Amino acid sequence: MKTADELLEQEQQLLLPYFNNESAWRLGTLIRDHASHINAAVAIDIHAFGQQLFFSALQGSQLDNLEWIRRKRQSVLRFGHSTLYLRRFHESKGRIFEEQAHIDVTEYSGHGGGVPLRLKEGGLIGAVCVSGLPDTEDHAVAVQALQQLIEEMHNGAS
């Protein structure tokens, strides 16, 4: 189980050299292919530059997954960190993210699976969100695909 500090360090390693519609498609298909391979009933959303650039709902995913994605995305965009980090950070302070006075539980979520899309030279541009697995696995699937995309970008493959 990763700590808030470890998750923060992980985020600092996930800086994109660039990002565009093709990058979003590649990231989404990496997640979708992995989820299909493990037979995971997930929904995947990639949101950047104020718009949805990729969405896929695999067989067995449910309408509720879309609601989780919306809340995860809003949390990432508002607070600039992964939803799992938000949860772990508040847990380290002895509190629950969703129970904070400024948090509307119908709008935000501290359940893992929302990960920021951040440019190395430009800051926060969006979020990649996965819903359908246990939340730490949602987070891991998104991070793994993001790491692969960044590696491909550095190697000139994407």
Measure the CA dihedral 156/145/127/11, to 10°: -90
Give CA–CA dist 116/153, Å, rounded: 17
**Between vectors from CA 111 to CA 146 and to CA 36, what angle results, nearest 5°?**
50
Pairing of strands 43-48, 114-119: unpaired
In a domain, 79, yes or no: yes
Instruction: Kindly give, in sequence order, each residue whose CB lies less than 8 Å from that of residue 104, ignoring residues fewer than 6 positions away.
Output: none
Beta pairing, strands 15-16 & 114-119:
parallel
**CATH of residue 115:** 3.30.450.150
Q: What SS3 state is found at 30? A: helix
In a domain, 116, yes or no: yes
31 assigned to some structural domain: yes
Q: What's the domain count of the chain?
A: 1
The verdict on residue 62 lying in a domain is no
Per-residue model confidence as pLDDT tens digits over 18-49: 999 999 999 999 999 999 999 999 999 999 99
> Which residues of the chain are modeled with pLDDT < 70?
157-158
Looking at residue 157, what is its pLDDT?
59
Give a yes or no: residue 128 inside a domain: yes
Give pTM, 2 decimals: 0.95
> Which structural domain, as residue segments, surrounds residue 85?
4-36+43-51+67-153
Tell me whether residue 59 is in a domain: no
57 is a domain residue: no
